[in-house]
Amino acid sequence: MEFQVIWFILWSVLWAVYFMLDGFDFGVGILQKFLGRNREEERAIINTIGPVWDGNEVWLITAGGATFAAFPGTYAMMFSYLYSALLIILFALIFRGVAVEFRSKVESEAWEKGWNVAVFLGSLIPALLFGVAFGNIFRGLPMDAGGYHGTLFTLLNPYGLLTGVFFVLLFIEHGSLWLALKTTGGLNEKAGRFANVVWFALLAVAAVFLVSTKFATNLYANYLGNAALFAVPLFAVLALAGIKVFAVRKDYLKAFYSSCLTILTVTFTGVIGLYPNLIPSNLDPKYSLTIFNSSSSLYTLKIMTVVALLFVPIVMAYQIWIYRIFRHGPTAEEIAKEKGAY
């Protein structure tokens, strides 16, 4: 039992870190269409994520691998029940990666515009569908002994779409702060103004999401059973407020850190409410997939725990080192002027 709980915590951390890191990549990809006034600015925007976007996606692979290894029953059902949505996300991520690398390979405005559209859609679609997927998991899927009774369009219910919009706004705010932090001149000013404006929309949708969650899900049950858990959503609210406080002061580094903390605590708020479920059934709770009825054997979990304790810190140290290496590099605008830039 202890190892199943440990892996539920690790599973939660992996998803939270993925959303925190790839979240600003999604935001930057979406904002390129709105903040880039010309080819140079569009290239400068993409350059801010050029050195790190592919490393950030590693956390998605790790989160998926951890689900497969620790909770194979959940992994199997998730990729069966949510197959269409996950396949769309996969194709979108592939096109985004190809677009980031290929857009500068030909000196043609039409070529770049085509790949810019791929970057935009490859960022917007996963951001939206990840939110839709987790919204439906929070809500519970219509499954029983006969399997899953739903389609791709069943997932596009009001609460699922609301969660998708919430995710998109979180990532847009995150991406705009990243741009404000990594650019100079006009782009820096535009990104900062955009972050301040989008924050109000994010706050409004977050409030609606919290109220809707009370009626659409059972996530608050764990919190009502243990009031100390309310510290996590409280930290999320404080971190969200911190974004605005620091963004107004143009202290974009602290605002970005506040955004990171917001995404982490929002993710933890959701998974704490899920525990011990991984995919609850909204037809009959006895058909819910939990960390206990869908986990690997105890022996497997023990081996995985040892491996994780050895290698996850190494991966984290490596990624911190990468971010440190690029922290004082040339500005995105300077790189954009160089031939062969991203």
Check residue 331 and give its pLDDT. Answer: 54
> Would residue 141 count as lying in a domain?
yes
Task: Please check whether residue 106 lies inside any domain of the structure.
Answer: yes
Averaged pLDDT of the chain: 90
pLDDT of residue 103: 85
Query: Cβ distance 115 to 138 under 8 Å?
Result: no
The pLDDT tens digits of the residues spanning 181-227 come to 998 888 899 999 999 999 999 999 999 999 999 999 999 999 999 99
Side-chain half-sphere exposure of 277, counting CA atoms within 13 A: 25
Is 342 inside any structural domain?
A: no
Residue 35 pLDDT greater than 70, yes or no: yes
pLDDT-derived band of residue 337, with 50, 70 and 90 as boundaries? Answer: low
The per-residue pLDDT for range 223-247, each reduced to its tens digit, is: 999 999 999 999 999 999 999 999 9
What are the Cα distances from residue 174, in Å, to 111, 127, 216, 256?
28, 12, 27, 7
What pLDDT does 1 receive?
60
Write out pLDDT tens, residues 75-109: 998 888 888 889 999 999 999 999 988 887 888 88
pLDDT attached to residue 166: 98
Residue 240's domain comprises: 2-336
Range in 29-43, 173-187, 233-247 with the lowest mean pLDDT: 29-43
Q: Tokens 């994780």 correspond to what residue?
A: 308
Q: What is the DSSP string of 280-299?
A: -BSS-GGG-EETTTS---HH
pLDDT at 336 over 80: no
Tell me if 17 is assigned to some domain.
Answer: yes
The confidence score (pLDDT) of residue 274 equals 96
d(CA 190, CA 38) in angstroms, rounded, equals 14
Q: How confident is the model at residue 340 (pLDDT cuts 50, 70, 90)?
A: very low
Under a CB-based contact definition with an 8 Å cutoff, are residues 308 and 6 in contact? no
Q: Tell me the helix, strand and coil percentages in the chain, rounded to 5.
A: 80, 5, 20
The percent of residues above 90 in pLDDT, for the chain, comes to: 69
Residue 160 lies in a domain: yes
Instruction: Look at residue 169 and tell me if it is in a domain.
Output: yes
Using the predicted structure, report yes or no on whether residue 342 has a pLDDT greater than 60: no
262 pLDDT above the threshold of 50: yes
Query: Model-level pTM?
Result: 0.93
Whether 341 maps to a domain, the answer reads no
**In-domain check, residue 242:** yes
**323: its two tokens:** 């971010």
Q: How many domains does the chain have?
A: 1
| E strand or H helix that includes residue 278 | strand 277-279
Q: How confident is the model at residue 2 (pLDDT cuts 50, 70, 90)?
A: confident
